[in-house]
Structure formats: structure tokens, C-alpha cells
Amino acid sequence: MASTPATHIIGAGLMGASIGIGLGSEGWHVTISDADAEAESLARNIGAGGAPGRGEPALVIVATPPGVTAQVVVEALDTWPQAIVVDVASVKAPIADAAERTGQAHRYVGSHPMAGRETSGAMAAQGDLFRARPWVLCAGQASARAVATVKQVADALQCDLIEMDARAHDRAVARVSHAPQAAASAVAAALAPLGADDVALAGQGLRDVTRIAASQPQMWADIARLNRSALVETIDHIVDELNAVRVADDIGAAMTGLIDKGRQEVARIPGKHGGAKRHWEAVTVIVPDEPGRLVRLLSDVAAVSVNVEDIAIEHSPRQPVGLTTLWVLPQHAAGLVAALEHDGWTVAGA
Amino acid sequence: MASTPATHIIGAGLMGASIGIGLGSEGWHVTISDADAEAESLARNIGAGGAPGRGEPALVIVATPPGVTAQVVVEALDTWPQAIVVDVASVKAPIADAAERTGQAHRYVGSHPMAGRETSGAMAAQGDLFRARPWVLCAGQASARAVATVKQVADALQCDLIEMDARAHDRAVARVSHAPQAAASAVAAALAPLGADDVALAGQGLRDVTRIAASQPQMWADIARLNRSALVETIDHIVDELNAVRVADDIGAAMTGLIDKGRQEVARIPGKHGGAKRHWEAVTVIVPDEPGRLVRLLSDVAAVSVNVEDIAIEHSPRQPVGLTTLWVLPQHAAGLVAALEHDGWTVAGA
């Protein structure tokens, strides 16, 4: 195990402070700074890092908002001519391009820890924020030593490391994250003409599609600007699919065709442990909406040694009961239904 | 309580057979038929209804595929000149129009039970399928007696009855269900250019947006044809929102603007019990992916008398742990985190 590098974090928001807490708790020497004095002081108080000393850091982690990351990376490469510099912005190619223009790209590694929270700022920071989450590493022109140093960070934070090309990363996140955010927000925005009684017809499907439409908007301006071309390309693809339905002579056949295409692709989204998505069976149970009822249900499930692969709770709009759907392996479904009914549960569907 | 009407169900698929089982178990006299002899025989064998006798039914429930519902409703009004006829198709105005053209619309009630399953056919039928689910009733020109009869059905199946105008219903479901299905499928379809490693970057956000993209396509052709104008109008709205981002001089500001609009609308989707969506707080816990661990977590939650309002399980792509997020009332969050950490759980975020 290599010794841990003296590390300086620039940016004391959720990401920077969480990295600082996580590395600090692993015994790393960490300092942290922020352009905002209050954020900096808060991060230091919660143990995200100390004040920088006179020595040069061996590793600089840039965790600023994405819009200023390229500039801060360039400045860091210039300020500390021996240090390895890594950033954590969610768009990678424009920052790699800026680093390459300095002639110091052998000391720069791009990275993207794919963790986040509904809240932001150092107050929400957690050393465990990145644990078991994918952390993309874009080596580019980085030296082997630089890459190894950044891998130490990912190891210390117990991330799931994925190496990718910066442009491939940007194209991929446009399709798996940035454009889906725009589409979810657009579906939500299209509810505007409906009255409250109309919106009350919403089922679990709409809730799922629009869940991320509740995201905070702040960081998205930078992301959209930095990843404009891949985002526009993906929006065009989505709009083309929708327009094909819109203008079809037979809108029924077009809708079925689109759903067929979507089914094919959605089956490629990994479920558990990177494997192909397993075919799970849904067992829906009526559960009174009271404390302790859900745990009683899951106790009864555990009693027959069935693992719950996924779970969803759907509250009834006007009644004090909810429908809880448990996804289990197909070979367990029939036995589970029988056991639950024997235990007195009402199974609404399996 | 009025006596229950002699009821005949036309269509022995999931909906018809489930209604038959549900009414039969409440003591109603139910007969069932289907154009497909095998489906009819199966439905009768599982107790969804008997063979029709010589007498005229007092109530006819049309549960055929939506594309033929209008025609079957018209035939039923003609065949049984005293019977009340109700249908359960998910688009209402074209069927109401057809009923009105017969001059017998006082005997016709449109309805839309908003329940469904991932599987279809009588084999999947459950008498409880509709319990605690919304059941939309479009009275139109129906007589008070006709409406009261259909309300008896909804009561017997323990549905959550909602009265609406047929056109308002169709416009609403285009926005809360039909267009969101198209958008989710389009987002999924736009994953096509990505390789497996790229798709592996998908997080919970994409999984939520595309969950309904895994829906079976069958019924959607009829739905899209019957609700074409409202569906096209909603697709246009969604496409306009996306194009505004695409063509903006400042794509960052446009993206933020779209997210802001979406946030406003998504806050109107009812959460529990028809009330405004409560503000819940998320507590994310690292849970080893083994049988019984989830129940242990929820037992520890129940031990401190905290009700779980919603729950999501996110599996890590390459590690044998999952992140389980529990949504609780804000006043319970801090105490819950303390209790869970005391019990030895790793809270990854709260």
C-alpha cells in the first residue's frame, strides 16, 4: 500500500466536503479551501479538512461547480508544478481539453463520482457518500503515477471504479442522465394545463417518470452548457422518436413500435451487481398505512427465506391503505403468495 | 342497500375476469362471455362468472380491448333494451359518442378503473385488483338509476370513485399516463447508441424514468388511436419544452428554466391520501444484499416508531451491497439516523 498523498481540496460543497471527511477518516492529511469564506469555515468545522500550510500538496482535488472547474484545474496545475490534479465535475471532455492546452496533462486526471443527494452544501456532506457508487476515471494523457494516485482516492472512499474515455463518458451521461432529466422535467411541465382533480389520476407510472423532475436546478445550467452537443444530440433523438408517433398515419402502430424499441433498450440497464437485469416477479400486497405494518410484511417474507429484490409502495389517494409491491425471483413468487395469504395478508396481484 | 343486479361481463381478459371474481365473491350473480372460446372457458373455470342464461341481464359490463369497446357497447345497448351498459376502457369520449348516437345514452355509463398489472389475461385475474384504486366514472347522459348501478359495482370492488367528464378524463390521462409512456419509451430508445459499459453508468434516476418503458405494448395501439388528439397535443407540449432547451442561445438558462417549471408541476402530484405531497426526508442506508437484512433494517426503524412513507432499493452495479433509501417525516429523520447508527447501520446520507 502506497503512503497517502498530502491532499488539498478546492471547493467545500457537498462533493468536496464529503471527499474530505471520507479521506480524513481513513487517516489522510487533507486541507480544504473555498472561494466562499463561510463555506470554507463550515467545512473545516465539520472535519472536511484543515487550512493549507506552506508545503505543496501532492494531490489537488478540484470540487468546484462544473462551470469554473476547467479554470480552477488550469490554475492548480500552474500553482503547484509537482502536484497531481483531479476534478470531479460531471462533464469531462471540456476540462480535459483545457488541461491538455497547459502542456501539463500528464498530471491531470478527470473523474466523475456518480453520487449525489437531494440536498447540497457541506452541511449535507457524508464521508460515505461515494461508497458502493460508480466513480468514473478518465485517464486521458495522465501518467501512470497520476492514475495510481487517483485510484488511491477511489479505494479509500470504497467506490466502484470505472475507466472511460472522456468523450465517451460525456456522450453516455447525456443519454443516461442529462437528457432523461430534461425529458422528466418536460413530462412534468406538460401537466400545467391540468386541474388538481385531473392530476389526482396520476399513478405510480407518472410518479416514477417524474421523480427526478423534483431535482434542484442549480448545477444543471453548467452541465447543459458544458455538455451541450451530446445533450442536444440526445434531445434530438428523443424528439425524433416522439415526432414519429405524432405524425404517423397509424398512431397505434407507431406507439407500439416505440414501446417495443424502448423495451429492448431498457432491458440493457443493469439491475443487480452489473449483471443483466433479472426477470423478477411482482407480488402486490395490501398493507394498512400504519407504523410497523411494512416490517410485519417483510418479516413474514423473510420467514420463508425469500429475498426482496426490489420494493415499491403505492399510497391510495383517498384510503388509509397502500399497495406494496415486492419483486422476487420467479421461482419464489407462488410460494410467497401462498405463505402471505396463510399469514392473513391480502395479495392484490402476483 | 339495493339488491345486486344480474350482471353479464363481455370480455374475459384481466379486467373482465377480475371484475367477475370480485363481484362473485360479494354474492353477485355474474355471467361472462368472450369472443375467444378458450378465454371464456378459462374465466368460467376460475370463477369469474357462469354461462349466460335466457334472462336479460340488468347490467352489462364491457371489458373488451379498447379498440372494439364502442362497437360492443352499441351492440349491448341494442341486444338488451332494458340493461344498463358500462365499459371499462381507458379512453372514454369516443365510446360515449358512439353510445350517444344510439339514442340510448341514458342507459350507458363510461368508466375507467385505474388498475393494471404487468401481466394480462384471465390467468392473472384477482378479485382484489381494483381495491383502493381510483375508478373514474363518466356519467355523460346516463340516468340517475344507471349511475347508481355502476356505483354499486365500484362499492362492491372497494374502489375509490371519481366522477369526471369524458373529454376531461381523456385529456387528463393523455398527460398523466399516455404521453409519459411515450416519453419514457423514447428516453429508453435513445440508449440505443450506447455500449454496455456506457449503459452501466445508469443510476436510479434513469431507472425511475424508464421503469414503465418495460410495459407490454399490446393495448397501447388502441389507446393511442382512440386518444390521438389529446396524445398528440401532449407530445407537442413535451417536444416544445425540449426544443426550447435545444435551440436556446443559453442552453444552461433554458435547462434551469425547464427544471424550474417541472418542479412546480411535480409538486402537484398527490402523494398520500389525496393530500398535497408531503415533504419527506430521505435516509439512505447501506444494506448488504442478503435475505433478511432489509427486514432487520425495517425492524430497527419500527422499534423507534417511525413510519416509512416510501422506500427505494438501489443495487450497486458491482458490489454485494445495496443502498436503501427510506422516506420519513422530516421531524423523524434525525432521530432515525441516530437510532440506526446506534444499531450498527451505516447511514450513507440523510
H helices of B89-226, in order, are 93-101, 144-156, 166-173, 179-189, 196-199, 204-210, 220-226
- Is the torsion defined by CA of A237, A238, A239, A243 positive or negative? positive
In CATH, what number is assigned to the domain containing residue B39? Answer: 3.40.50.720
Confidence of residue B287 (pLDDT cuts 50, 70, 90): confident
Q: Is A34 helix (H, G, I), strand (E, B) or coil?
A: coil
Confidence of residue B118 (pLDDT cuts 50, 70, 90): very low
Nearest to B135 by CA among B67, B84, B88, B73: B88
Rounded Cα–Cα distance for residues A58 and A149 (Å): 9
Q: How many domains, in total, are found in chain B? A: 3
Q: Are residues B299 and B189 in the same domain?
A: no
Between chains, do B201 and A136 touch, taking CB under 8 Å as contact?
yes
Q: What is the pLDDT of residue A195?
A: 93
ipTM attached to this prediction: 0.78
pLDDT tens digits along A110-154: 999 987 554 455 655 667 778 778 899 999 999 999 999 999 999
Strand (E) or helix (H) holding A330: helix A330-342
Beta bridge pairs of residue B346:
B286
Does the structure show a pLDDT above 60 at B273? no
Residue B274 belongs to some domain of the structure:
no
Q: Are residues B50 and B154 in the same domain?
A: yes
Between chains, do B242 and A238 touch, taking CB under 8 Å as contact?
yes
Q: Which residues of A touch B250 (CB under 8 A)?
A: 225
Q: Nearest CA to CA, how far is A345 from chain B (Å)?
A: 12
Q: Are residues B11 and B156 in the same domain?
A: yes
Q: Are residues B86 and B203 in the same domain?
A: no
Q: Are residues B48 and B151 in the same domain?
A: yes
Q: Which residues of B touch A218 (CB under 8 A)?
A: 256
Where chain A has pLDDT below 70, the residues are 1-2, 116-126, 271-279, 289, 291, 314-322, 349-350
Q: Is B204 exposed, middle or buried (0-12, 13-18, 19+ CB in 10 A)?
A: middle
pLDDT tens digits along A11-26: 998 899 999 999 999 9
Q: Which residues of A touch B274 (CB under 8 A)?
A: 200, 317-318
Confidence of residue B277 (pLDDT cuts 50, 70, 90): very low
Residue of A nearest to B298 (CA): A295
Nearest to B215 by CA among A267, A247, A268, A349: A267
Q: Are residues B204 and B147 in the same domain?
A: no
Residue of A nearest to B328 (CA): A291
C-alpha cell belonging to residue A9? 481540496
DSSP-assigned letter for residue B50: B
Between chains, do B246 and A260 touch, taking CB under 8 Å as contact?
no
Secondary structure E strands in chain B: 7-10, 30-33, 59-62, 84-87, 108-113, 134-138, 160-163, 281-288, 310-315, 321-328, 346-349
Q: Are residues A11 and A160 in the same domain?
A: yes
Residue A272 belongs to some domain of the structure:
no
Q: Report in angstroms the alpha-carbon separations of A244 from A258, B3, B88, B184, B311.
A: 9, 51, 29, 15, 36
Contact status, residue A220 vs residue A185, Cβ threshold 8 Å: no
Nearest to A212 by CA among A117, A136, A112, A129: A117
Of A260, A295, A302, the CB nearest to B217: A260
DSSP-assigned letter for residue A52: -
First to last CA, chain A: 51
Between chains, do A190 and B209 touch, taking CB under 8 Å as contact?
no
Domain of B343 in residue numbering reads as 281-349
Contact status, residue B99 vs residue B73, Cβ threshold 8 Å: yes
Which of A4-8, A346-350, B29-33, B152-156 is least confident? A346-350
Nearest-5° angle of CA B137, CA B141, CA B143?
85
C-alpha cell belonging to residue A251? 398512431
Between chains, do A198 and B214 touch, taking CB under 8 Å as contact?
no
Which of A274-278, B119-123, B151-155 is least confident? A274-278
What phi-psi label fits residue B58: left (phi over 0), alpha (psi between -120 and 50 degrees) or beta? alpha
Q: pTM of this prediction?
A: 0.79
Between chains, do B255 and A291 touch, taking CB under 8 Å as contact?
no
Q: Which residues of B touch A172 (CB under 8 A)?
A: 194, 198-199, 201
In CATH, what number is assigned to the domain containing residue A290? Answer: 3.30.70.260
Q: Report in angstroms the alpha-carbon separations of B298 from A119, A214, A293, A344, B293.
A: 24, 26, 10, 20, 9
Q: Are residues B206 and B92 in the same domain?
A: no
Q: Is A97 exposed, middle or buried (0-12, 13-18, 19+ CB in 10 A)?
A: middle
Residue B2 belongs to some domain of the structure:
no
- Mutant choice from B258, B286, B299 vs A, greatest count of A C-beta within 10 A: B258
Residue A189 belongs to some domain of the structure:
yes
Residue B250 belongs to some domain of the structure:
yes
C-alpha cell belonging to residue A321? 391503505
- Give A58's contacts (C-beta < 8 A, 6+ positions apart): A5, A6, A7, A82, A83, A84, A149
- Is the torsion defined by CA of A18, A21, A27, A33 positive or negative? positive
Q: Are residues A68 and A154 in the same domain?
A: yes
Q: Are residues B124 and B55 in the same domain?
A: yes
Q: Is B310 helix (H, G, I), strand (E, B) or coil?
A: strand
- Mutant choice from B185, B198, B346 vs A, greatest count of A C-beta within 10 A: B185
Rounded Cα–Cα distance for residues B164 and B138 (Å): 5
Does the structure show a pLDDT above 90 at B156? yes
Q: What is the pLDDT of residue B7?
A: 98
Rounded Cα–Cα distance for residues A94 and B28 (Å): 69
Between chains, do A252 and B290 touch, taking CB under 8 Å as contact?
no
Between chains, do B242 and A271 touch, taking CB under 8 Å as contact?
no
DSSP-assigned letter for residue B17: H
Between chains, do B199 and A208 touch, taking CB under 8 Å as contact?
no
Between chains, do B131 and A286 touch, taking CB under 8 Å as contact?
yes
Between chains, do A311 and B315 touch, taking CB under 8 Å as contact?
no
Between chains, do A172 and B192 touch, taking CB under 8 Å as contact?
no
Residue A1 belongs to some domain of the structure:
no
Of B209, B236, B242, the CB nearest to A246: B236
Q: Which residues of A touch B327 (CB under 8 A)?
A: none
Confidence of residue B279 (pLDDT cuts 50, 70, 90): low
Q: What is the pLDDT of residue A125?
A: 64
Contact status, residue B272 vs residue B278, Cβ threshold 8 Å: yes
Q: Is A61 helix (H, G, I), strand (E, B) or coil?
A: strand
Between chains, do B268 and A196 touch, taking CB under 8 Å as contact?
yes
Pairing of the two strands B84-87 and A84-87: unpaired
C-alpha cell belonging to residue A131? 461508497
Q: Nearest CA to CA, how far is B40 from chain A (Å)?
A: 21
Last residue of a domain, one of B128, B145, B164: B164
Q: Report in angstroms the alpha-carbon separations of B3 from B29, B51, B347.
A: 11, 21, 56
Residue by residue, DSSP assigns A265-284 as HHTTS--STTSPPP--EEEE
Secondary structure E strands in chain A: 7-10, 30-33, 59-62, 84-87, 108-113, 134-138, 160-163, 281-288, 310-315, 321-328, 346-349
Residue B125 belongs to some domain of the structure:
yes
Nearest to A198 by CA among B233, B89, B261, B163: B163
Beta bridge pairs of residue A284:
A325, A349
Q: Which residues of B touch A117 (CB under 8 A)?
A: 282, 349
Q: Nearest CA to CA, how far is A8 from chain B (Å)?
A: 23
Confidence of residue B272 (pLDDT cuts 50, 70, 90): very low
Q: Are residues A220 and A102 in the same domain?
A: no
Q: Are residues A219 and A323 in the same domain?
A: no
Q: Nearest CA to CA, how far is A258 from chain B (Å)?
A: 6
Q: Which residues of B touch A192 (CB under 8 A)?
A: 261, 265
Q: Which residues of B touch A227 (CB under 8 A)?
A: none
Question: For chain A, how many residues are written?
Answer: 350
Last residue of a domain, one of B137, B164, B191: B164
Q: Nearest CA to CA, how far is A92 from chain B (Å)?
A: 14
SS3 labels along A200-263: CCCCHHHHHHHHHHHCCCCCHHHHHHHCHHHHHHHHHHHHHHHHHHHHCCCHHHHHHHHHHHHH
Q: Average model confidence (pLDDT) for chain B?
A: 88
pLDDT tens digits along B244-255: 999 999 999 999
Rounded Cα–Cα distance for residues A341 and A61 (Å): 55
Last residue of a domain, one of B125, B146, B164: B164
Residue A234 belongs to some domain of the structure:
yes
Of B209, B246, B310, the CB nearest to A184: B209
Contact status, residue A61 vs residue A16, Cβ threshold 8 Å: yes
Q: Nearest CA to CA, how far is B81 from chain A (Å)?
A: 33
User: What mean pLDDT do residues B38-50 have?
Assistant: 90
Of B200, B208, B239, the CB nearest to A242: B239
A to B CB pairs, distance under 8 Å = 467
In CATH, what number is assigned to the domain containing residue A239? Answer: 1.10.3660.10
Q: Please give the order of strands across the beta sheet that includes B134-138.
A: B30-33, B7-10, B59-62, B84-87, B108-113, B134-138, B160-163
